Amino acid sequence: MKALLIAECRDGKFLDYSYELFGFAAQLGAEATMLLVGKEGELPECGGTVYLADAGRYGEQNPDLHKRLVLAAVERERPDYVVLMHSSYGWDLAPRVAAGLKVAQLSEVVSVADDGFELPCCSQKMRRKAKPVGSPVVLTLQLGAFPAVKPAGAPALQRIDAEGEGKLEFLGYEPPPPKGVDLGRAEVIVSAGRGIGKKENIEAIAALARTLGGEVGASRPVVDSGWIEAGHQVGTTGQTVSPKLYVACGISGAIQHLAGMKKSGFIVAVNKDKEAPIGEVADVLVVADVMQFVPALTAKLAK
Ligand code: FAD
């Protein structure tokens, strides 16, 4: 079984989450080959064949042109799976590749099932199982769902090119607005989740963060609800953090949140549900009402 893994670069740098593609291929037991539109000086640290296309010529984010490169690599490799990350790059490119090959596509795979794949549905509240028919199959993987794996050795380079002009031109990236808080350097982060109930309760989380000498983080619903600015979000679409202490307050532990904080040194979770998934990564799970526990803890620590 063969998998063609479509890796990513941004601003000339190889993106580390592309190594999760190898973790997925390993779970399938597939022989992995990578395609990268990047620079020769910025190759991944891994063994195996890497088809390299020049980002200077094709642009880093040009799904219209990159589709042709993927189809050229498929022609050479004849893979059973063409696999991308479920990133803005992957979700633009995957359907074009599937349409070009006239094959099945599954988006945001979270796990390999006995006879198919599991994918989220209903705003991540449920999972569905799907079995692709035919070959090859185009898949995108949810960020953080599979382990990052670096196959040993140095990459064996093969150049790849594609003919024709695209219907899109990649102009560059727009940098995000400056963030008010740098969670990446914080040694302590106290994060608020939807379980805090309302915007006014952020102050109790901030008070605990101040008492511990840390910063305030948040899950995405807290940001989406306008309870705190976007710069505080932790997770796949927020910041990736690894403080010495991470206190998750009223956060369920969705995979996209865990991807951003599971490397923290010591994790304390406060949740009224003792079965909440955050318990699987937490060193300590306090089963309590967050708005009773957090102010009481802050008062105790302040003494
Ligand atoms: P919920 O899942 O609603 O959990 C609330 C928790 O609070 C529950 O466990 C509940 O038991 C507990 N609770 C409720 N009341 C109390 C109380 N009084 N006391 C104690 N506990 C209580 N999410 C992120 O966080 N970061 C991301 O970067 C991110 N990126 C995403 C990207 C994509 C493409 C998608 C599809 C989703 C993304 N999400 C992200 C959203 C993610 O899937 C979850 O929806 C989100 O993390 C859930 O946030 P939450 O844990 O605060 O809320």
Residue 69 predicted with pLDDT over 70: yes
If one residue of 252, 255, 291 were mutated to test the ligand 1 pocket, choosing by the most ligand atoms within 8 A of its CB, it would be: 252
**Phi and psi torsions of 270, nearest 5°:** -115, 120
If one residue of 121, 194, 198, 223 were mutated to test the ligand 1 pocket, choosing by the most ligand atoms within 8 A of its CB, it would be: 194
Pocket of ligand 1 (CB under 6 A): 124, 193-195, 219-221, 233-238, 250-252, 254, 256-257, 260, 270-273, 276, 289-291
Percent with pLDDT over 90 in the chain: 79
State pLDDT tens for residues 223-273.
999 999 999 999 988 998 999 999 999 999 999 999 999 989 999 999 999
pTM check: above 0.90: no
Looking at every residue in the chain, the average pLDDT score rounds to: 93
**How many angstroms separate the alpha carbon of residue 257 from the centre of ligand 1?**
7
